[in-house]
Amino acid sequence: MSDLVLVTGALGWLGFSLVKALVKGLPDIEAFSQPRNNQIIRCLILPGQDPEILKNLSDKIEVIVGDLRNPQDCDRFCENANHAILFHTAGIIHPPRVSEFYHINVNGTQNLLNSAVTNRVKRAVIVSSNSPCGCNPHPDHLFDEKSPYHPYMNYGKSKMLMELAVMSMQESGKIETVIVRPPWFYGPNQPPRQTLFFQMIRDGKGPIVGDGNNLRSMAYIDNLCQGLLLSAESEKANGETYWIADNRPYSMNEIIDTVEKLLESEFNQTCAHKRLKLPGITGDIATLVDGTLQSLGLYQQKIHVLSEMNKTIACSVAKAQRELGYSPTVSLEEGMRRSLKWVFENYRGIDN
């Protein structure tokens, strides 16, 4: 990998995890267990975020404060980055208004790629989502890289348009690009919404919409970082798209049961052993409400999340395994164990 690495969204959940992996290595993966000590990591963060969190990780981290929506900020971030590797993890998932999906995920990415090309960045690894493909057409279906676009709501559409912009830049021959599609991810440094999910499970309010047998692909954060690093290094990856997730999808029942079991057996929590069971039509109603709100330019996170709870969103990682040597070594139980350990070490439990 290049001696200069650029990371957008460096204080986000994925971005910070990736920066830590670059600084300290990925202990579960032999090829990345040791960091490259000569590497400079240039991080883009938003105005108002604390740069010291990154600077305390390593003296080889440079911090640039800026906004992807501002082309001049992108130019400063990519300045003198000849032959560098760019990891674009920044994006917006749950904004107050629908327009922000397009301003940040689409226009911001275009600004970034334009600056990267001007400064002769070698390769951009772009983080997309499962949302451009939407929901699986039937419960036994797995998305792969040949699956057609069928974007779910405006977030999915913004990520689809972002992918199309990346592909257009790739076709120009001015920069190498790789698109990585992660599904729902989990692991240390998680945002409050994931900790709330754990709390709901403990309190007997873990949501099951329908029978709970719908499948969800998930990506443990270090598995995802492995996929990003492999995408940066593999010659074969140039111009390709990869789904990166755990080895297999899990049912919603399995996800909630696993968290509940760990809370009791390893974290001394008393669980209610109940579920917030809602009929499958609840998710369908939420989908209608979500679509109506978004048509008005508004976005409501809880309704959007509820709309997905009865749906199968599952993928195959066979192409990444075959072409990149991707090996998702951490699966659900161990990944959730590490997630819970981080919560209890950093927040003194799931009530804080």
**Among the listed residues 193, 225, 232, the one whose alpha carbon sits nearest the alpha carbon of residue 14:** 225
Query: What number is the average pLDDT over the span 287-297?
Result: 95
- CB-CB neighbours of 118 under 10 Å: 14
- Given a cut of 90, is residue 29 above it in pLDDT? no
Q: What is the pLDDT of residue 348?
A: 65
User: Please, what are the domains in the chain?
Assistant: 4-189+218-248+312-329 (3.40.50.720)
- Mean of the per-residue pLDDT values for the chain? 95
Per residue in 145-159, pLDDT tens? 999 999 999 999 999
Yes or no: say if 306 and 229 are a contact pair by the CB < 8 Å rule: no
Nearest by Cα to 241 from 297, 324, 172: 324
Helix (H/G/I), strand (E/B), else coil: 290? helix
Is the confidence at residue 31, as pLDDT, over 90? no
Pairing label, strands 241-243, 176-181: parallel
pLDDT tens profile 322-333: 999 999 999 999
pLDDT category at 126 given cuts 50, 70, 90 is very high
Look at residue 246 in the predicted model and tell me its pLDDT. Answer: 97
Residue 352: the pLDDT is 60
Mean pLDDT across 119-123:
97
Q: From CA 223, how far away is CA 129, in angstroms rounded?
A: 15
Residue 177 has pLDDT above 90, yes or no: yes
Maximum pairwise Cα distance, the chain = 58
Model confidence pLDDT, tens digit, residues 182-226:
999 999 999 888 899 999 999 999 999 999 999 999 999 999 999
Strand partners, 61: 41
Could you report the per-residue pLDDT of 233-259, keeping only the tens digit for each?
Answer: 999 999 999 999 999 999 999 999 999
Q: What is the pLDDT of residue 35?
A: 82
Alpha-carbon span 259 to 201, nearest angstrom: 7
| Per-residue pLDDT at 54 exceeds 70 | yes
Question: Can you give the pLDDT at residue 134?
Answer: 96
209: β partners = 278
Task: Give the Cα separation of 17 and 184 in Å (integer).
Answer: 15
Helix, strand, coil in percent for the chain, rounding step 5: 45, 15, 40
**Is the Cβ–Cβ distance between 324 and 237 less than 8 Å?**
yes
Tokens of 65: 């404060």
**349 pLDDT higher than 70:** no
Question: pTM to 2 decimals?
Answer: 0.95
SS3 314: coil
Query: Please, which residues have CB within 8 angstroms of residue 305's CB and are 6 or more apart in sequence?
Result: none
